[in-house]
Amino acid sequence: MKKIVFITGSLGLIGYEAALLFLKKGCGVVGIDNNLRSRLFNIKTQYDEKLQYILQTYPHQYVHAAVDIRNVLEMKKIMVGYSKSICTIIHTAAQTSHDWAKKDPLLDFSINAQATLQLLELYRTYCPNAVFIFTSTNKVYGDLVNSLPFKSTAKRFDLKKDHQYYLGIPESFSIDQSTHSLFGSSKVAADILVQEYGKYFYLNTGVFRLGVITGEHQSGALEQGFLTYLIHDIVINNKCTIIGYEGKQVRDILHAKDVAQAFYLFMKNPIRGEVYNLGGGRNNAWSILEILDYLKHKLHVKMLIKKLSRARTGDHKWWISDYSKFQKQYPQWKPTSSIKNIIDSIITHDQSRQI
């Protein structure tokens, strides 16, 4: 029987790229996605067109269920039906916004933490020989990174080249004694649970702490998915909003296809209970102001920039991921798209959807 990859959030940014990769590898994919993002953020997503494409392209390999991941009875029914064939579970479904979490902390926790625990129990009970991959976030580190000695230039915050974290933040960086945001807190709970199920129950779990992951298939919103939202606002409206830090905040950017490739490598050779930081790294790190400069040059537009002085609670002034641990264990992996290429692909995709 064909090996099955069970993916939650299968029509989201990372889940969709993972689904496409594993389908191309010949696996079957059971996708769980109920398009909650559209309702939470009140935006139009690419849910319908992604689903149509994947069903038309892989009609005999892909099965879709529009189920809420918190519905443990429905999730159990699906997992039991495929349990003998499931080789990998990729859990990407989540509530992903700082701002939304503070509106409804109970809902945020039920999606990010409680549903993850329920899924881990289903995994342990019905397919314990599978690999379990969890998409965590750099927000589990809280805002401790903001205490680093950044220098402020005209366009960005940055560290001196001789600083120990100049090349990025490693997994050994503390997650304690800082402000995480309520979103970050619920993801911490899930992150630790996934680690614990690996180490305590001897299951093949892996946690990937991700920074800014993006790509042309992301449905960005002001609350989350800043790069695609920023580009869309400029392409369509010639305006954008910067939240805090005067636009000098730095992010390393990674295409979702590279995340999917990392999942594939981990699935082939899992290391039990491991945690990895994954991002674009020092060479793929720009500030928002630097991104805007590139967009002005690329699109030849004058844009109206609205700056909000107050940053989100717990948000980072600067984040670059040190992915050397993952690369040492899986040397085949590296980021394959530059920031310019990522931005260009998003622009092209956005413009094509407006025709």
What is the tens place of the pLDDT at every residue in 55-99? 999 999 999 999 999 999 999 999 999 999 999 999 999 988 877
The pTM of the whole model exceeds 0.85: yes
pLDDT for 164: 98
Distant-in-sequence, close-in-space partners of 273: CB < 8 Å, separation ≥ 6: 195, 196, 197, 198, 199, 205, 206
CA–CA distances in Å: residue 231 to residues 21, 156, 255, 350 = 26, 19, 15, 8
Residues (pLDDT < 50) of the chain are 223-224, 355
Measured between alpha carbons, how far is 324 from 331 in angstroms, rounded to an integer? Answer: 9
Taking the C-alpha atoms of 268, 272, 275 and 277 in order, what is their torsion angle to the nearest 10 degrees? -20
Radius of gyration of the chain (CA): 20
| Structure token pair of residue 291 | 């991104």
pLDDT for 243: 84
Give the CB-side neighbour count of residue 65, counting CA atoms within 13 A: 19
Q: In what order do the strands lie in the sheet with 28-32?
A: 62-65, 28-32, 4-8, 86-91, 131-137, 204-210, 274-278
Q: What are phi and psi of 272, to 5 degrees?
A: -55, 125
Q: What is the domain partition of the chain in residue ranges?
A: 4-353
User: What does CATH list as the number for 4-353?
Assistant: 3.40.50.720
pLDDT for 355: 46
The H or E element containing residue 71 is none
pLDDT for 2: 82
pLDDT for 227: 77
3-state secondary structure of 93: coil
pLDDT for 98: 74
